[in-house]
């Protein structure tokens, strides 16, 4: 049912899931009853609101705010907030839909939701970002709570934004509680949350490679993005003896054949928020390709030679031509840190080639899983050591991989982790929906 052309990303995500569920419905037709599919593709609630704030020049700015509370069969809505000028209600709907299955795969009690705004934090002063966040939360606070809906960060929402959002929630409600995750360590955050999505994506790749008798050691790795997910993917790859040679941002792609200098990357992106081009001042031996020089049919980062790919920037950043280039260059493993980074045609190429392909909803679930660990620590007023969080994260990623692989094998397509992820996630949500009746 394509009723709105503005929701192309949501239709792309929904079609992939529904296509994968076909063999399940043939074997278990009861899932076609009770309006499960019809209820699953319709959010339980969508909140759209106006966010007005005053910029440093005294001008009134108006942005759109969104929160989609998609499915609460398994627990409180859980999913990040994205601040990026490209955000539309369709973007948030696709991300919320994917989140339902991702959260189900973690095995933890969390439902699916997502939110955000078309606000662009880039180039804004800290005070402007604070004013925007305060205005955003002034509407959002009435819809969220530690047992109802617990937002986190996503593109454009990091520690700074979570801090401003939390401060305003506390001011409005008078409550100091675990209503957001990704908080600072001094006031309710969890050790390991900042690193969790990137680390988890690497652990997922390790699991996929292990199933094929390989390891990451010595492998050349291509990473896109230069934000939270990409940075901690690169960090874990270095730790495991792999060689991450690329990263990218919205302006261009950096290639450093001897391995990305992680400390410098953190200074440029976490501290100074500047373009990757500045990396060349310290490392003139590296190369930088601006977006204007990218191939017309895709992204420069996927045209570089490597063994393993970690798409970690944004949706549809890896085209069919990129997938063909990766396969031609000998890439045998793709672990998605971003949500839906590969186009439908690119995914088809990976599945046909039977390479190890970990879709985002499985491979990047370590972030939301660790957010749930933050919720558990907040509700028991505890703080766990990093080792405990990391052990749990590793276990969760291994379990997700096992579930996806076992489910794929059960449906006679053992290398297809897309099928495995969608069926395993769906079954957990659908069973809960059936048991809870038609609501």
Main-chain dihedrals φ then ψ at residue 201, nearest 5 degrees: -65, -35
Query: Any contact of residue 225 with ligand NDP (CB under 6 A)?
Result: yes
Which residue, 241 or 290, is less far from ligand NDP as judged by CB? Answer: 290
Contacts of 227 (CB under 8 A, 6+ apart): 155, 158, 249, 269, 312, 313
Find out whether 421 and 359 touch, Cβ atoms under 8 Å.
yes
Main-chain dihedrals φ then ψ at residue 357, nearest 5 degrees: -125, 115
Which residue, 307 or 374, is less far from ligand NDP as judged by CB? Answer: 374
Query: Any contact of residue 422 with ligand NDP (CB under 6 A)?
Result: no
Question: In sequence order, which ranges of 217-278 are alpha helices (DSSP H)?
Answer: 228-239, 262-266
Query: Any contact of residue 367 with ligand NDP (CB under 6 A)?
Result: yes
Candidate segments 142-150, 166-174, 203-211, 225-233, binder of ligand NDP by CB under 6 A: 225-233
Q: What character string, x for contact with ligand NDP (CB under 6 A) and - otherwise, covers 112-151?
A: ----------------------------------------
Query: Any contact of residue 197 with ligand NDP (CB under 6 A)?
Result: yes
Query: Any contact of residue 153 with ligand NDP (CB under 6 A)?
Result: yes
Which residue, 274 or 345, is less far from ligand NDP as judged by CB? Answer: 274
Residues in 86-115 that interact with ligand NDP by CB under 6 A: 86
Tell me which of 155, 162, 191, 242 binds ligand NDP, using CB under 6 A.
155
Residues that constitute the known binding site: 78, 99, 102, 153, 197, 228, 371
Question: In sequence order, which ranges of 331-379 are alpha helices (DSSP H)?
Answer: 344-353, 360-363, 366-379
Q: What character string, x for contact with ligand NDP (CB under 6 A) and - otherwise, covers 30-69?
A: ----------------------------------------
Catalytic pick from 59, 93, 114, 194?
Answer: 114
Candidate segments 152-160, 210-218, 402-410, 431-439, binder of ligand NDP by CB under 6 A: 152-160
| Relative orientation angle of helices 193-210 and 366-379, to the nearest 10 degrees | 130
User: At its nearest, how many Å lie between ligand NDP and the CB of residue 276?
Assistant: 8
Which residue is closest to ligand NDP by CB? 227
Q: Please state, in angstroms and rounded to a whole number, the distance separating the CA atoms of residues 430 and 422.
A: 12
Closest by CA position to 196, among listed 424, 390, 333: 390
Torsion of CA 373, 376, 377, 378, to 10 degrees: 120
Candidate segments 43-51, 68-76, 226-234, 260-268, binder of ligand NDP by CB under 6 A: 226-234
In a 10 Å sphere around its CB, with 0-12 CB exposed, 13-18 middle and 19+ buried, how is residue 438 labelled? exposed
Query: Any contact of residue 364 with ligand NDP (CB under 6 A)?
Result: yes
Tell me which of 12, 34, 148, 250 binds ligand NDP, using CB under 6 A.
250
Residues in 279-308 that interact with ligand NDP by CB under 6 A: none
Query: Any contact of residue 339 with ligand NDP (CB under 6 A)?
Result: yes
Tell me whether residue 114 is one of the annotated catalytic residues: yes
Query: Any contact of residue 336 with ligand NDP (CB under 6 A)?
Result: no
Q: What is the DSSP letter of 436?
A: H
Q: Please state, in angstroms and rounded to a whole number, the distance separating the CA atoms of residues 110 and 104.
A: 7
Contacts of 53 (CB under 8 A, 6+ apart): 60, 61, 63, 128, 131, 132, 134, 135
Which value, in Å, is the radius of gyration of the alpha carbons in the chain? 21
User: At its nearest, how many Å lie between ligand NDP and the CB of residue 247?
Assistant: 8
Which residue, 65 or 225, is less far from ligand NDP as judged by CB? Answer: 225
CA-based torsion, 365, 20, 216, 284: positive or negative: negative
Q: Please state, in angstroms and rounded to a whole number, the distance separating the CA atoms of residues 175 and 160.
A: 20
Find out whether 301 and 248 touch, Cβ atoms under 8 Å.
yes
Tell me which of 65, 156, 244, 306 binds ligand NDP, using CB under 6 A.
156
Which residue, 31 or 132, is less far from ligand NDP as judged by CB? Answer: 132
Residues that bind ligand NDP (CB under 6 A): 86, 153-156, 158, 197, 225-230, 249-251, 312-314, 337-339, 364, 367
Q: Which residues are catalytic?
A: 114
């Amino acid at each position: 049912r394509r009723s709105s052309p503005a929701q192309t990303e949501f239709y792309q995500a929904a079609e992939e899931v529904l296509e994968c569920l076909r063999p399940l419905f043939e074997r278990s037709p009861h899932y076609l009853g009770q309006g499960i599919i019809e209820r699953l593709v319709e959010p339980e609630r969508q909140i759209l609101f106006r966010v007005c704030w005053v910029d440093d020049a005294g001008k009134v700015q108006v942005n759109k705010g969104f929160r989609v509370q998609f499915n609460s069969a398994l627990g409180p809505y859980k999913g990040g907030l994205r601040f990026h000028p490209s955000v539309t209600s369709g973007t948030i709907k696709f991300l919320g839909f994917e989140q339902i299955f991702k959260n189900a795969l973690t095995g933890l009690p969390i439902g699916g939701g997502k939110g955000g705004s078309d606000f662009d934090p880039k180039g804004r002063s800290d005070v402007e970002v604070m004013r925007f966040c305060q205005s955003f939360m002034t509407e959002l606070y009435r819809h969220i709570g530690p047992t109802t809906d617990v937002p986190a960060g996503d593109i454009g929402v990091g520690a700074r934004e979570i801090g401003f959002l939390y401060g305003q929630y506390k001011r409005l409600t008078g409550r100091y509680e675990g209503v957001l995750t990704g908080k600072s360590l001094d006031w309710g955050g969890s050790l390991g949350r900042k690193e969790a999505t990137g680390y988890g994506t690497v652990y997922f790749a390790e699991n996929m490679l292990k199933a094929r008798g390989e390891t990451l050691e010595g492998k050349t790795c291509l990473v896109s993005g230069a934000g939270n997910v990409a940075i901690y993917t690169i960090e874990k790859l270095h730790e495991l003896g792999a060689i991450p040679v690329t990263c990218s941002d919205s302006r261009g792609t950096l290639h450093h054949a001897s391995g990305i200098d992680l400390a410098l990357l953190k200074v440029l992106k976490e501290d100074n928020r500047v373009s990757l081009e500045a990396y060349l001042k310290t490392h003139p031996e590296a190369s930088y390709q601006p977006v204007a020089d990218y191939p017309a049919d895709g992204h420069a980062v996927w045209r570089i030679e490597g063994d393993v790919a970690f798409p970690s920037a944004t949706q549809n950043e890896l085209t069919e031509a990129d997938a063909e280039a990766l396969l031609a260059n000998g890439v045998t493993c793709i672990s998605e840190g971003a949500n839906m980074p590969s186009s439908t045609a690119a995914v088809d190429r990976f599945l046909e080639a039977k390479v190890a392909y970990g879709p985002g909803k499985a491979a990047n679930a370590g972030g939301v899983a660790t957010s749930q660990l933050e919720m558990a620590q907040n509700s028991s007023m505890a703080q766990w050591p990093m080792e405990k969080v990391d052990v749990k994260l590793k276990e969760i990623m291994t379990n997700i991989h096992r579930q996806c692989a076992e489910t794929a094998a059960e449906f006679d397509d053992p290398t297809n982790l897309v099928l495995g992820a969608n069926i395993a996630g769906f079954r957990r949500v659908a069973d809960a929906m059936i048991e809870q009746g038609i609501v």
